[in-house]
Structure 1
Amino acid sequence: MTEPIKETKEKWKLLPAFLKTKGLVKQHIDSFNHFLRVDIHKILEANKLVRSSKDPNFFLEYKKIWVGDPEIEHDLISTKITPHECRLRDLTYSAPVYVNIEYTRGKEHVIQDYPELIGRLPIMLRSAKCVLTGKSEEELAHKYKECPLDPGGYFVVKGNEKVVLSHEQLQKNRIIVEVDNKKNLSASVTSSTTERKSKTTIIYTKGKFYLHNNTFTADLPIVIVLKGMGVESDQEIIQLVGSEPLYSTCMAASIEECTNQKIFTQEQALKWLGTKVKPFYRTRIRAMSEEARDILAEVVLTHIPVLYYNFHLKVIYVAHMLRRIIKATVDKEAIDDKDYYGNKRIELAGQLISLLFEDSFKQLNANLQKIAENALSKPHLATEFDMGKQIASVRDIMHKSIERALATGNWKLKRFKMDRVGVTQILSRLSFISSVGMMTRIQSQFEKSRKVSGPRALQPSQWGVLCPSDTPEGESCGLVKNLALLTHVTTDQDEEVVKKMAYNLGVEDVTILSGEEVNSPTTFLVFLNGVLIGVQTQPATFIRSFRMLRRAGQISEFVSIYCHRGHQTIDISTDGGRLCRPLIIVENGKSKVQDHHIQELSDGLRSFDDFLKEGLIEYIDVNEENNCRIAMYDREIIRATTHVEINPLTILGCVAGLIPYPHHNQSPRNTYQCAMGKQAMGNIGYNQYNRIDTLLLLVYPQRPLCKTKQIELIGFNKLGAGQNAMVAVMSYSGYDIEDAVVMNRASIDRGFGRCMVLKKDKCTLRKYANMTEDHLFKPDVANNQIAAKMYAKVDPDGLPSPNSIIDSGEVYMIKTVPAITEDMANLTASKAPPKLEDSRWSGRNSVVVDKVKKASLFS
């Protein structure tokens, strides 16, 4: 008899440690930090040269790029700024972007060491460049007027808090076998590299295989494509796809079709393919066969590298796609599920801002090139053309394009064929939980008007990474999802380190192997982010060694490795957008996290990161979960168990986690509560009285009598919403009153459910082109009793005093507007008095002026 497994006490203490390290909206902040740390430098490297066709000696080169600290500039004076100031003054919380440049001025070579400002970039709150990062709770509350519980992860644009919503997409560079609209089996790959994106599909129709790509006028017989790639022998094609009767029989019709076309050599195949290239992609200078060869190398399956027209790697990849289709003809389980979450990637704020930044940077370079062309085309200039002085004229391009996209939510980038609406939304401040819930939301690209159940259904692969309850009712049901509590969304990791390690662990070069060796039952193809890098004959040993090195910290903890025995493949993933979650490692039937580890965590001697570094906990993504055996509790661990959950409550998200005893509710009730919980009135933050917003605040919010662990984890116990009501359920002669509520008047008189409605009103004072401007002003109404009564609540400065009571119809703000604002010529001649514009309270009940704030856009 084996000993009963001892349950690790208080494992849940790992949850606050995780949230302390990562925060509630770590996915947005991590992705924006990745953009600042990596992407911005890659974009500069790809676009660092500006040249001119008018002068071959002219060039402008960017040497280095960096983002400064958030500040505002006026009259050449820069002052530091905080997010709270930006909210009050309707400013954008942004930082300057600087570069070092090198360029030619006539025959002189200029190297500029001092920073050159090229634009401004909106900064995400709590990101690496935000002034709030690393500050203590006291500093945040007193110095910066911010709520310490506010998780950040959003932008402040023109005074409004804007969230870039996460978007769900199908993964790139991976094979998806499916049944198309015409009921034909197909294998499609959406290839994506930094230079090009393309979709390639192999279709199995009427017993033959065809390749479809948008650069060709028609679907191409696959054997002709393979011959165009250099595989001239039919025998070799059969060996690459598979010598077994199943594969050779399926390929016979395609080989016969190629023979009927009288195509036997690579040159014949390329000439035939050249006739099928669309005119748009054709140039008259080069031969058709050369164009076809270039398209096969650079456009078809563009993510598979082809060096010096050696197609061998691409040929093996195409053969693998054919094998996958043929397997699916006899085994329906070989058809991929598009809704399986391992096939999805999440697009975060950092990636979307990166696209905007690249687009605006290319636009900036194009404008500089145009300026250089115009200047250098004039032969006799009084002074040498100095590009360094021209950069000031294009500084607004970056700031305006990124600010416009964030403010409107419209991502219209022709360069990247992107046209999306509603990418950003105003952060909901109805309650603290509504803002946190909005930050963890994921939107699907699927049209919500289509009545299809597949994408809406709860997928088993979403266990632990997406909340099963938090989704809207109605047509968006199942399409808008929310992250679970411990879900982490990965950012891109360095591929080269992982590739080098894979080769060191015994991955062999696939190009030296024959088709028979590649398709051997003991050979597994190894893919790195969808690119074939080699083969491995001992998959179990290789995967075990790889995971040991990951746990030892030799590679990033977010790299995943997954073995699919049906496809005979090993997939290594380092790309961004994968959903993963931390799990406790189990070895030899025993959890690696013991009581003394938790005690050290409680005593402050170790953090969550220490558990990762010591190999006690690891991140597992959706695909790798298929190779794991995960126990829910320590008592369920058996010899085959590989991992154990930290705590079952982590399958729920931030909003559903507030429901006490959710497993005792009917399932739709939990979904309804997730929607209603966000509407509960209460506190929105410690700084709610410092903000000037349209808000609804509960006067007497209470802590719930029955609370869950998650309420304390996310800080909801400090910013409560709602009140504890004593409910009496009764029946009167067998009839009930459905959803109606009879309330106790005495409770209402004592303040039950009492709320404050705070409304914001602003008056903008403008300066006009003819040097006139608006003024706050109270006219002299001493002789007019009616006007005196109407303007009684306005002070001489045109504004009301704080705490003054405004009744219906009374004026509370007055400003004067010049009669003429456009024409400079008539300014002196005009004697027209300025117009009065006032703001009146139109509501039925009286209101109290809570706060009056004067602010300038500049100082």
Structure 2
Amino acid sequence: IINGTERVITTLEDLAPNKIMVEFETRYGEQIEVAKVFSHRRGYRALTVVERNKKSLLEVSFPSISGRINFVTIVRALGVETDEDIASMVSSDPEIVKFMLENLEEAEVWTRDEALEKIGNRIAAGQIKEYQIKRANYVLDRYLLPHLGNEERYRLLKAQFLGRMAEACFELAIGRRGEVDKDHYANKRLKLAGNLMEDLFRVSFNRLTRDIKYQLERANMRNRDLSVATVVRSDVLTERLNHSLATGNWVGGRTGVSQLLDRTDFIATLSHLRRVISPLSRSQPHFEARDLHPTQWGRICPSETPEGPNCGLVKNFAQMVEISTGIDDETEVKDLIFDRLGVMPLAPFLVGDREVPVSYATELEAQDDELVYEETYD
């Protein structure tokens, strides 16, 4: 109840994060293959794109860096330097390796240091070399595939994931796989009230901490006695929460998340509480997104949708739908897939003096039985 009125937080439908989606795009009259991932970590969402241009070369783009960077440059900056390791990281299929060899022949850099210098020159042009390399390392750790981690020890995992994206591009190019159906409900995720309130509270709490820091600095400059009552302004957090709940304007530029609860009758109230809204623009056709998809069977009501511009974009849950929630605890996930299901981790192992992913280590083990493998981290 906000300002005396009943309001409801509606469910948001969005594309699944951290999942590779491949499609064709047309640019300047040419059709290119694109693999996208909406990497999501603790409220931060970053779009990472690997595309195969008209020259059959792979390019990567991600936030905080302008334009696109050569795929081999990014992978070498992440620590995979040799041509053999890069090619085997993408695929062992001869047809795909042929495409990968073309990329390696056109490589712009040959070592990790050269790759970091090139990326740093793009990010911090005109700065000294040490700052450029430091900035390049920071950007690779923080903004490239953040869902895998934001520390240096996760770089080989990021290189492996980019290799999977590159393989998906090549498979799309040779017809081995088709475009991902974005309207398939396996590629959708629903944000319920808990997820939406988590996003709102995270932004509101960060705003409160910044305000506390400002109040502390101001009191210190004026030589005032510090007290909790004067430093912490509780209304900063409350006003931010109330404003979003009252207007429906949510973090990330989303609108209409909070709505006035329909109390026409009991059925109308239940319908409003079970409503699902799409973030797509109402002014655009979006014919495929508005259509009824077979995978909505048993999940979304096939008939209850408004007429007019909202048709197909505003939906309702089916009568007996049951919503499952994802697992956020990383320890539980690792315990499930590694211990119970027997999945092999992609964590790098130490072979001689260099770190290599598990797949490379097993290949080297077959070649030389005397090598000793030591796991560097879980």
| 2:256 maps to amino acid | G
**Residue identity opposite 1:170 in structure 2:** L
Give the superposition deviation at 1:444: 0.5
Preserved contact between residue 63 and residue 143 of structure 2 (Cα < 8 Å): no
1:455 is displaced (CA, Å) by 0.3
Match of 1:189 in 2: 37
Q: What is the match of residue 439 of structure 1?
A: 273
For 1:394, the equivalent position in structure 2 comes to 233
Q: 1:161: which partner in 2?
A: 6
Counterpart in the other structure of 2:372: none
Q: Which residue of 1 aligns with 2:317?
A: 483
Corresponding residue for residue 51 of structure 2 = 203
Paired with 2:87 and 2:361, the residues of 1 have a C-alpha distance of 9
**2:236 alignment partner AA:** I
Q: Distance in 2 between matches of 1:367 and 1:332?
A: 54
SS in 1 for 2:253: strand
Shift of the 288–453 alpha-carbon distance from structure 1 to 2, 3 Å rule, reads same
> 1:368 matched to which residue of 2?
212
**How does 1:688-699 map onto structure 2 within 5 Å?**
none
Kindly report the root-mean-square deviation, in angstroms, between the aligned alpha carbons of the 2 structures.
2.6
2: CA distance, partners of 1:516 / 1:364: 48
CA contact (8 A) 1:297 1:309 kept: no
Question: For 1:669-701, what per-residue CA distance to the aligned partner results, in whole angstroms no more than 9, with x for missing partners?
Answer: xxxxxxxxxxxxxxxxxxxxxxxxxxxxxxxxx
CA contact (8 A) 1:187 1:325 kept: yes
* Secondary structure of the structure 2 residue equivalent to 1:390: helix
Contact 2:39 2:46 (C-alpha < 8 Å) held by counterparts: yes
* 1:507 partnered with 2:312: no
Deviation at 1:483, TM superposition (A): 0.5
* Structure 1 residues without counterparts, runs of 5 or longer: 1-155, 519-532, 535-859
Provide closer, same or farther for how the CA distance between residues 231 and 436 of structure 1 changes in structure 2, counting only shifts above 3 A.
Answer: same
**8 Å CA contact retained: 1:372, 1:387:** no
Change (3 A) 1:332 1:338: farther
Of 311-320 and 486-495, the range deviating more from structure 2: 486-495
CA drift of 1:307 comes to 4.7
Question: TM-score, normalised on structure 1?
Answer: 0.39
Q: 1:368 to 1:306 in 2, by over 3 A?
A: closer
Superposed CA deviations along residues 333-378 of structure 1, whole A, max 9, x for unmatched, are 4321111111111122222222332333233333333332222223
CA deviation digits over 1:633-678, x for unaligned, max 9?
A: xxxxxxxxxxxxxxxxxxxxxxxxxxxxxxxxxxxxxxxxxxxxxx
In 2, Cα distance between equivalents of 1:409 and 1:479: 17
Q: Deviations over 1:784-841 (max 9, x none)?
A: xxxxxxxxxxxxxxxxxxxxxxxxxxxxxxxxxxxxxxxxxxxxxxxxxxxxxxxxxx
- Greater RCO, 1 or 2 (C-alpha within 8 Å, sep 6+): 2
Aligned partners of 2:249 and 2:257 also within 8 Å:
yes
Q: Distance in 2 between matches of 1:257 and 1:327?
A: 21
- 1:406 equivalent in structure 2: 245
1:387 maps to a residue whose letter is S
CA distance in structure 1 between the partners assigned to 2:140 and 2:99 by the alignment: 24
**1-structure distance, mates of 2:219, 2:58:** 57
* Residue in 2 that maps onto 1:542: none
Quick one: distance in 2 between partners of 1:284 and 1:405?
Answer: 44
How far apart, in 2, do the equivalents of 1:299 and 1:422 lie? 29
Distance 1:361 1:235, change over 3 A: closer
Q: Distance in 2 between matches of 1:341 and 1:332?
A: 22
User: How far has the Cα of 1:235 moved from its partner?
Assistant: 1.8
Matches within 5 A, 1:233-632: 233-258=82-107, 261=108, 263-277=109-123, 286-305=130-149, 307-309=151-153, 311-331=155-175, 333-379=177-223, 385-390=225-230, 394-411=233-250, 413=251, 418-493=252-327, 494-505=329-340, 506-510=342-346, 511-512=348-349, 513-515=358-360
**2:13–2:190 contact (8 Å) kept in structure 1:** yes
Q: What CA distance in whole angstroms lies between the structure 2 residues aligned with 1:470 and 1:219?
A: 44
CA distance in 1, matches of 2:201, 2:49: 32
Distance 1:212 1:291 in 2: 17
Q: CA deviation at 1:209?
A: 0.7
For the residues of structure 1 that align with 2:72 and 2:38, how far apart are their CA atoms? 21
Unaligned runs of 5+ residues in structure 2 are 350-357, 364-376
Distance 2:200 2:157 in 1: 34
The CA distance in 2 between the partners of 1:310 and 1:481, in whole Å, is 40
CA shift, 1:517, in A, is 5.9
Q: What does residue 63 of structure 2 align with? A: 214
Retained in 2: the 8 A contact 1:239–1:516? no
Distance in 2 (CA, whole Å) between partners of 1:270 and 1:367 is 37
Displacement of 1:462 after TM fit? 1.0
**Aligned residue in 1 for 2:25:** 180
What is the deviation of 1:421?
2.5
Paired letter, 1:351: N
TM-superposed deviation, 1:480: 1.0
CA shift for structure 1 position 200: 0.9
- Decide whether aligned partners of structure 1 residues 377 and 200 sit closer, same or farther in structure 2, where only a CA change above 3 A counts: same
Pairing partner for 2:80 from 231, 234, 254 = 231
Alpha-carbon distance between aligned partners in 2 of 1:305 and 1:368, rounded to the nearest angstrom: 29
Matched residue, 2:352: none
Determine the C-alpha separation between the residues in 2 that align with 1:429 and 1:196.
36
Pick closer, same or farther for the CA change 1:161–1:275 going to 2, 3 Å: same
Quote how far apart the aligned CAs of 1:186 are. Answer: 0.7
Of stretches 314-323 and 436-445 in structure 1, the one that deviates more from structure 2 is 314-323
Measured in 1, the distance between the counterparts of 2:362 and 2:21 equals 24
Separation (CA, whole Å) in 1 of partners of 2:124 and 2:180: 31
Structure 1 residues 492 and 455, CA gap change in structure 2 (3 angstroms): same
TM-score (norm 2): 0.84
The question of whether the paired residues in 2 share the 8 Å contact of 1:241 and 1:515 is answered with no
Structure-2 residue corresponding to 1:28: none
Kindly indicate whether the alpha-carbon contact (under 8 Å) linking 2:43 and 2:199 is maintained by their aligned counterparts in 1.
Answer: no
Equivalents in 1 of 2:318, 2:89: separation in Å? Answer: 44
Q: Which has the larger radius of gyration?
A: 1
- CA-to-aligned-CA distance 1:707-759 (integer Å, 9 cap, x gap): xxxxxxxxxxxxxxxxxxxxxxxxxxxxxxxxxxxxxxxxxxxxxxxxxxxxx
Task: Check 1:485–1:264 CA distance in 2 against 1; reply closer, same or farther (3 A cut).
Answer: same
AA paired with 1:171?
Answer: A
Opposite residue 508 of structure 1, the aligned amino acid is: M
Q: Which amino acid aligns with 2:343?
A: V
Q: Summarize the Cα distance change of 1:257–1:396 in structure 2 as closer, same or farther, 3 Å threshold.
A: same
Gap change, CA 1:165 and 1:516, over 3 Å in 2: same
CA distance in 1, matches of 2:180, 2:13: 18
1:344 and 1:467 map into 2 onto residues whose CA distance is: 16
Distance 1:246 1:451 in 2: 39
- Return the offset for 1:191: 1.1
Residue identity in the other structure for 1:244: D
Q: Which whole-Å deviations, capped at 9, do the CAs of 1:283-318 have from their partners, x for residues lacking one?
A: 769432232233222211121236545622222111
Indicate if the aligned counterparts of 1:231 and 1:237 stay in contact, CA closer than 8 A. yes
SS of structure 2 residue aligned to 1:177 = strand
Q: Is the 8 A contact 2:26 2:32 kept in 1?
A: yes
Note the C-alpha offset of 1:466.
0.8
Q: 1:321 corresponds to which letter in structure 2?
A: M
Return the structure number with greater helix share: 2
Distance 1:497 1:272, change over 3 A: same
Indicate if the aligned counterparts of 1:216 and 1:278 stay in contact, CA closer than 8 A. Answer: no
Partner Cα distance (1:233, 1:285) in 2:
24
